[in-house]
Amino acid sequence: MTTLAELGEREIIEQFRRLLPADSSVIVGPGDDCAIVRPATDNNFEWALTSDAVIENTHFTAETDAVGIGHKLAARCLSDLAAAGAEPMWALINISAPPSMDADRLKAVYRATADTAAKYGLSIVGGDTSSSNALALHMFAVGRLPRGSAMLRSGASPNDVVYVTGELGGSLAGRHLVFVPRVREGIWLRSQAWTSSAIDVSDGLECDLRNLIDVNRNGVRIELGSIPVSASARSCENGRSATEHALCDGEDYELLFTVPEEKADKFEKAWRSAFEVKVSRIGTVTGQAGSIDYVDTDGSIVNIRNKGYEHFRS
């Protein structure tokens, strides 16, 4: 027997993927932030599909604030839609809960999910409930995109500039329950066609950079001093530096994307007049396949081991 822990999340997903038949209505299948589908009869739109789970003892504990749990369920899906630049449309929620659970707590979770969804125009239109040993919530969400416009993880080329929104490294200090999904920013990036590739930072910057820049073709050079490290990352150093938290902790849910070099200055100006949240230029895509270089402020290359989050691995 091979266990899930031995295979790891990436290999399991790869094995699942081989079981799926091709379908001409699928523009982008598994492996991106959203699947992108287009029914043959639809000439105007594509549809971005995503799902996420929030599970007791994995993402939260029995003591976690109900509002944070509910917000996180909706905001995780919204963040994936944002990464594709999709306009949030509809969602389903599946709830599994122990019969002994306090009904008021579950209602508070659900209300928080509904509130966050409504704030971004995501309509909750149904779902399913069942009993289980621990509380588990699953959301499946649909977003809309003009045909052919989805932002994807693929597409970065050498010399593209790498940007990240907001600040990184605050998730362990509690930000993973209150983060703001960058929905408006994602739609703006997509509608103005600034990006060559985009992803939301869910596994940690170090990990998601590899997912973004297509390490089989490209490399990346990141200026450590340019990474926007949050104040809360500095406050929870616990044996690891604030920069390490910013690089390796998951669940920041900021947008990480590339912009072609010739558009970069114009992009930064346009961003500043459109949004209050900051965007940081953190590095450059290179032509050296697979090489991820972190450059310290003194010019030396720092070796950062990949410590991003992977499910099933202990």
Neighbours of 55 (CB within 10 A): 15
Nearer to Mg ion, 145 or 264 (CB): 145
Q: Cα-flanking dihedrals φ and ψ of residue 90, to 5°?
A: -135, 155
x-or-dash string of contact with Mg ion, 2-41, rule CB under 5 A: -------------------------------x--------
Which ranges constitute the DSSP H helices of 120-257?
A: 183-191, 205-212, 231-235, 242-248
Scanning 5-13, 148-156, 201-209, 240-248 for contacts with Mg ion by CB under 5 A, the matching segment is: 201-209
Ranked by CB distance to Mg ion, the top (closest) residue is 33
| CA-CA-CA-CA torsion sign (223, 173, 188, 211) | positive
> CB of residue 288 vs Mg ion: minimum separation in angstroms?
26
- Tell which positions 89-118 bind Mg ion, by CB under 5 A: none
> CB of residue 33 vs Mg ion: minimum separation in angstroms?
4
> Considering the rule CB under 5 A, would residue 196 count as an interface residue with Mg ion?
no
Nearer to Mg ion, 154 or 159 (CB): 154
> CB of residue 21 vs Mg ion: minimum separation in angstroms?
24
Looking at 32, 200, 252, 254, which residue binds Mg ion (CB under 5 A)?
200
> CB of residue 97 vs Mg ion: minimum separation in angstroms?
26
Nearer to Mg ion, 51 or 288 (CB): 51
x-or-dash string of contact with Mg ion, 44-83, rule CB under 5 A: ------------------------------------x---
**Residue that has been written with the tokens 């509002």 in this structure:** 67
Q: Of the candidates 148, 189, 305, 182, which has an alpha carbon nearest to the alpha carbon of residue 252?
A: 182
Compute how many residues bind Mg ion; rule: CB under 5 A: 4
> CB of residue 82 vs Mg ion: minimum separation in angstroms?
9
- The string over 193-212, giving b where at least 16 C-beta atoms fall within 10 Å of a residue's C-beta and e elsewhere, is ebbbbbbbbbbbbbbbbebb
**Residue that has been written with the tokens 């399991």 in this structure:** 12
Looking at 96, 195, 202, 280, which residue binds Mg ion (CB under 5 A)?
202
> CB of residue 1 vs Mg ion: minimum separation in angstroms?
31
Please report, for the chain, how many H helices and E strands are present, in that order: 8, 13
Q: Of the candidates 77, 82, 71, 109, which has an alpha carbon nearest to the alpha carbon of residue 92?
A: 77
Helix (H, G, I), strand (E, B) or coil at 84: helix
Separation CA 190–CA 151 (nearest Å): 6
> CB of residue 52 vs Mg ion: minimum separation in angstroms?
8
Nearer to Mg ion, 200 or 223 (CB): 200
Nearer to Mg ion, 33 or 244 (CB): 33
> CB of residue 200 vs Mg ion: minimum separation in angstroms?
4
Residues in CB range of 69: below 8 A, 6 or more apart: 54, 59, 60, 109, 112, 135, 137, 177
Residues in CB range of 30: below 8 A, 6 or more apart: 13, 16, 17, 20
Interface residues with Mg ion (CB under 5 A) are 33, 80, 200, 202
